[in-house]
Structure 1
Amino acid sequence: MTLVSLFAAQSGGAGVPIRELAMLVLVAAAVSYLLTGVVRYVMVKSGWLDQPRLRDVHDIPKPRLGGVAMFTGVIAAVALASILPALNRGFPPMTPDMRAIIIAGSVLLLVGIADDLFDLDALTKLLGQVAAALIMSFMGVSWYLLYIPFGSGSTLILDPIMSTVLTVLFTVALINAFNFVDGIDGLASGLGMIAAGAILVYSMVMLHDQGGTVSAYPPAMISACLFGACLGFLPHNFEPARIFMGDSGAMMIGLMLAGASVSASGRIAPSMYGTADIIALMSPIVVVIAAISVPMLDLLLAIVRRVGQGKSPFSPDKMHLHHRLLSMGHSHRRVVLVLYLWVSVIAYAAVATTVFPVGFVAFTSGLLLIFAVVFTIRRSRDMPNRGEGSRKRYNLRP
């Protein structure tokens, strides 16, 4: 598999529908970008502003609910995909994935909107997350194949109960990982875009290697739609942010990445990956883990930290990775760029193994890793523009 052969593939048929996937990215980005401005205007005029809390890093009230614009961008892109001949193999009756993602995402969006407006308690949000994950699993997006690389290697076929349990646990964990990491301007949207981009590249490689198999279409389309939605929202959300995505956006990113991950690595037999090499056999799982590595690490550290202190795993604090980087003297923008860089390095190392020789990937990944370490430990010289200057710049009072 080479980049030349991938991009030489023709749209439709058994090839890789690159142009159509690019259209999904552009539509999702355009709708998300334009509608975010509308949502911000409505929220500011109505007075629904997020008041700064002790654990927050922003110091002036700002509107939330950007997730509504993002999910609308996703819906618009999915609607376009459903009428494109090159992508209709990824819709019912061929596969239920896209319908499941939209319905589960709509349920979770309502929960997120309620939380953004009225601050739901942790248990209510958790029940909403579980309900959305169950809907996705019951509608067919469920992890029922699990490859075990140890020994001679084997594939476990999970029964319906275990499949549902694994899918729900994975989905809820990923939803909360992005919910937890959404604590600084541009972080969640940027990490979501990078993770979606990694899964998108892998899905296109899988489409090429497997000759356009039906099961490879949904992860490609889901990740393309999510990539575009995050791309369109990011200009509004990058530091200094004019609007927050809120739980409606962060939870949506987690759900869609979970859906794309299950489609990409939880339902396709390892024998279809195209090679008996262990790296290729594990590549779907490695790509997924790499793409979500930083949010999941932050989630695990938060749970261990809070439980160790005798607190609820959902109790807020200021000890997330971005808080720690801020305490090192980095500016808000540099913290975001540091975390972008680490996720990109890990995702590149995973995805590149499906395209380039292992030796080349190891060498380039090592160089990128050294650069990431140096960039992280070097203190930022620019400090964020906060306080009264930001208040005047955005004039958030209607």
Structure 2
Amino acid sequence: MREYILILLIAAGVTYLLANLFRRLAFRHNAVAIVRDRDVHTRPIPYFGGAAMLAGVACSFMVASQLPWLGRFDLVEHDSRAVFIGSLVICLVGIVDDMVDLNALAKIAGQILAAGIVVLNGVKVYWIPLPGTIVSLDDATSIVLTVVLIFLCVNAINLIDGLDGLAAGVVAIGSLAFFIYAYQLSYEQELVRATTGSLVTVVTVGVCLGFLPYNVHPARMFMGDSGSMLLGFLMATSVISLTGQLDPSQIAVEGSGLAINAYLPLILPLAVMALPLGDLILAYVRRTIAGRLWFQADKQHLHHRMLQLGHSHRRAVALLWLWTALLAFGAVLIGITSSPWAVAALVAGLAVAAWLTWKPVRHDPA
């Protein structure tokens, strides 16, 4: 655990220290977010937050490979190297997009290329937990499912990045929950605690925390597509890599209180990504009904609707962070304890969050 904490601090520190440098570079190269009709910000804000995050990822992985515990597992080093190369590709695509506004097909090609890199290096979905059984996937199904999952996560985080601090906070919360699950699972089941999934998630938490001081409202810097696609890619690969390093037969033991853990690799990512994926699905349905392409932007995302309900910028972000925390940590708590009290606590928390979210509507004089 001490090495994981060290890696988190390195990721946060490097990202924080280099963010101001990349902020200046963004101004110098005119990589700024101009004010558009669908935007919330009222003045141009520099991009390149993703570049600072990528530097944090690079330094963290490099240090991890030299540590006495994490560094002695060849599989972790191999997979983290593949994840970094894919991260580099997808971040570079995002940087180019932040500068020259790439078309949708070019960005999709970059996302698929990054996904292909990790797949070719063995970072892919190997099994899926289903009720009563665990299904092993053949190579073709594994490749297709991995690419689709990465594509969905990347674009889900990209779409939710619409308010200051929202995407970074949601990803930090979700990644922390997944790290706790992966580490606790390996501890309880006496599995190897050094996994690529744990390493990537703790690095993701670190880069988000290092970037948030520049990104909370009022933001001094945006992560841009380079950052949102990078975070989505890291979240996806952390979940995917875990299936390749854990033996599914050891996760669920009949009669064990932790049997639900067999399904958490499927349930937890959905809980962690519930808001981004929900926003992505709603956007696709909404735009399809309107006769538009799914990637054509509008101003009807969840964060836009929160502002329309009367919430302030900071309150809207805080509430969406709260929803993410309840769903992600609630799923982990239920999985670890298998207790009805955990379910009751989650339901109560969701009820409170719903009340806080809709309270402005009931008090609206109109």
TM range (shorter): over 0.9
- Residue 14 of structure 2 is matched in structure 1 by 31
1:67 matched to which residue of 2? 50
- What is the letter of the counterpart of residue 195 of structure 2? Y
Of 285, 290, 296, the match for 2:266? 285
Matched, 1:363 2:344: yes
Post-superposition Cα deviations, 1:176-200, rounded to whole Å, max 9, x if no partner, equal: 0001111111111011101110111
Amino acid at match of 2:116: L
Deviations 1:275-310 (A, max 9, x none): 335522212221111111110000011011111111
C-alpha displacement of 1:39: 1.1
**Alignment partner, residue 109 of structure 1:** 91
Tell me which residue corresponds to 1:190: 169
Residue 223 of structure 1 is aligned with which of 179, 201, 207?
201
- Is the CA contact (8 Å cut-off) linking 2:260 and 2:338 kept in structure 1? no
- Tell me, yes or no, if structure 1 residue 336 matches structure 2 residue 336: no
Identity of aligned residues (%): 39
Cα RMSD after superposing both structures: 1.7
What displacement does 1:367 show? 2.4
Give the secondary-structure state (helix, strand or coil) at the position aligned to 2:164: coil
8 A contact 1:24–1:81 mirrored in 2: yes
Contact 1:199 1:287 in 2 (8 A): yes
Q: Quote the offset at 1:40 in angstroms.
A: 1.1
Q: Which residue of 2 aligns with 1:97?
A: 79
Equivalent-residue separation in structure 2 for 1:174 and 1:90 (angstroms): 27
- Which of structure 1's runs of 4+ aligned residues deviate more than 4 A? none
Q: Structure 2: which 5+ runs fail to align? A: 362-366
Number of the residue aligned with 1:57: 40
Would you say the 8 A contact 1:265–1:285 is kept in 2?
no
Is the 8 Å Cα contact of residues 142 and 267 (structure 1) preserved in structure 2?
A: no
Question: In the alignment, what sits opposite 1:130?
Answer: 112
Instruction: Deviation per CA, 1:129-184: give whole Å up to 9, x if none.
Output: 011111111111111211221xxx12222111111000000100100000111111
Q: How does 1:228-307 map to 2 (within 5 A)?
A: 228-265=206-243, 268-276=246-254, 278-307=259-288
Partner secondary structure for residue 336 of structure 2: coil
- Retained in 1: the 8 A contact 2:50–2:230? yes
Aligned to 1:373: 354
Per the TM alignment, residue 374 of structure 1 is displaced from its structure 2 partner at its CA by 1.7
CA distance in 2, matches of 1:343, 1:266: 26
- Local SS of the residue matching 1:353: helix
* Equivalenced residues, count: 358
Cα displacement (A) at 1:45: 4.1
CA distance in 2, matches of 1:90, 1:334: 43
The one-character-per-residue Cα deviations of 1:112-136 (angstroms, maximum 9, x if unpaired) are 1100111000010001001111111
How far does residue 99 in structure 1 lie from its aligned partner after superposition? 1.2
Name the structure where helix makes up a greater proportion of residues.
2
- Where does residue 364 of structure 2 map in the other structure? none
Residue pairs, 1:111-190, within 5 angstroms = 111-149=93-131, 153-190=132-169
Structure 2 length-normalised TM: 0.94
TM (normalized to structure 1)?
0.86
Q: CA deviation at 1:80?
A: 1.0
